[in-house]
Amino acid sequence: MDPIIASYLPSLFMGTTITLSVALVSLAIASVLGLAGAMARLSSVAWIRRVATAYTTIVRGVPDLVLMLLLYFGGQRALNAILAACCPGTTVDLDPFIAGTLTIGFVYGAYLGETFRGAYLAIPSGQVEAARACGMRETQVFRRVTGPLMLRHALPALSNNWLVMLKSTAIISVIGLPDLMQRASQAAGATRQPFVFYALAALVYLAITTVSELVLRALQSRLRTSALEVHL
Amino acid sequence: MNPDLLLDNAGLFGRAILVTLGLLAASLLAGGALALPLAVLRNSRRPWISGTIWCFTYIIRGTPLLVQLFVVYYGLAQFEGVRASLLWPALKSAWVCAVLAMAINTCAYTTEMIAGAIRALPTGEIEAAHAIGMSAWQRLHRVILPLALRRSIPAYSNEAVMMLHGTSLASVVTLVDITGAARDVNSRYYLPFESFLTAAVLYLSITFVLLAGFRRAEKRWLAPLKARA
Radius of gyration of chain A (CA): 22
Question: Which helix (H) or strand (E) covers residue A178, if one does?
Answer: none
Q: Chain B partners of A170 at a C-beta cutoff of 8 Å?
A: 64-67
Over chain A (232 residues), what is each successive 10-residue block's mean pLDDT?
85 94 96 93 91 90 94 88 80 86 94 91 88 90 88 89 94 92 92 92 96 92 64 48
Name the DSSP class of A94.
Answer: P
Q: Given 3-state DSSP classes, what are the helix, strand and coil percentages for chain A, each rounded to the nearest 5?
A: 85, 0, 15
Nearest CA in chain B to A63: B165
Does the beta carbon of B78 lie under 8 angstroms from any beta carbon of chain A?
Answer: yes
- A170/B64 touch (CB, cutoff 8 Å), yes or no: yes
Whose CA is closest to B109, among B207, B39, B167?
Answer: B39
- B64/A194 touch (CB, cutoff 8 Å), yes or no: no
- A61/B203 touch (CB, cutoff 8 Å), yes or no: yes
Name the DSSP class of B46.
Answer: S
Inter-residue contact B225 to B150 (CB < 8 Å) = yes
Name the DSSP class of B177.
Answer: S
CA A197 to each of CA A68, A181, A188: distance values in angstroms, whole numbers, following the listed order: 25, 9, 6
Torsion sign across C-alpha atoms B148, B153, B155, B156: positive
- B200/A62 touch (CB, cutoff 8 Å), yes or no: yes
pLDDT in the model for residue A63: 95
pLDDT in the model for residue B150: 92
Q: pLDDT by residue (tens digit) across B13-46?
A: 999 999 999 999 999 999 999 999 999 999 999 9
The beta-carbon neighbor of A167 closest among B64, B168, B204 is B64
The beta-carbon neighbor of B67 closest among A73, A196, A201 is A201
Does the beta carbon of B163 lie under 8 angstroms from any beta carbon of chain A?
Answer: no
pLDDT in the model for residue B227: 64
**What one-letter code names the amino acid at B216?**
R
pLDDT in the model for residue A226: 58
- Range list of β-strands (E), B12-122: none
pLDDT in the model for residue A232: 45
Burial grade of A28 (CB within 10 A; 0-12, 13-18, 19 or more): exposed
pLDDT in the model for residue A6: 86
Inter-residue contact B54 to B108 (CB < 8 Å) = no
Q: Quickly list DSSP for A140-170.
A: HHIIIIIHHHHHHHHHHHHHHHHHHHHHHGG
Torsion sign across C-alpha atoms B194, B196, B197, B202: positive
Residue B98 Cα, gap to closest chain A Cα (Å): 15
Torsion sign across C-alpha atoms B152, B179, A84, A104: positive
Whose CA is closest to A68, among A182, A173, A223, A181?
Answer: A173
- B190/A77 touch (CB, cutoff 8 Å), yes or no: yes
Whose CA is closest to B73, among A195, A14, A19, A124?
Answer: A195
- A171/B169 touch (CB, cutoff 8 Å), yes or no: yes
pLDDT in the model for residue A227: 53
Whose CA is closest to A117, among A146, A86, A78?
Answer: A146
What distance in Å separates the CA atoms of residue A171 and residue A100, rounded to the nearest whole number? 9
Residue A230 Cα, gap to closest chain B Cα (Å): 30
Nearest CA in chain B to A61: B204
- B207/A171 touch (CB, cutoff 8 Å), yes or no: no
Q: pLDDT by residue (tens digit) across B138-147?
A: 999 899 999 9
| B201-205 contacts at long range (C-beta below 8 A, 24 or more positions apart) | B202/B13, B202/B17, B202/B178, B203/A61, B203/A62, B203/A63, B203/A66, B203/B164, B203/B165, B203/B168, B203/B178, B204/A57, B204/A58, B204/A61, B204/A62
Nearest CA in chain B to A194: B75
Q: Is B41 helix (H, G, I), strand (E, B) or coil?
A: helix
What is the model's pTM?
0.91
Residues of chain B with confidence (pLDDT) below 70: 1-3, 227-229
Inter-residue contact A179 to A133 (CB < 8 Å) = no
Inter-residue contact B43 to B119 (CB < 8 Å) = yes
Nearest CA in chain B to A171: B66
The interface predicted TM-score (ipTM) is 0.91
Which residues, at least 6 apart from A150, have a Cβ–Cβ distance to it below 8 Å?
A116, A119, A120, A123
Inter-residue contact B99 to B26 (CB < 8 Å) = yes
Interface of A with B in 81-100 (CB under 8 A): none
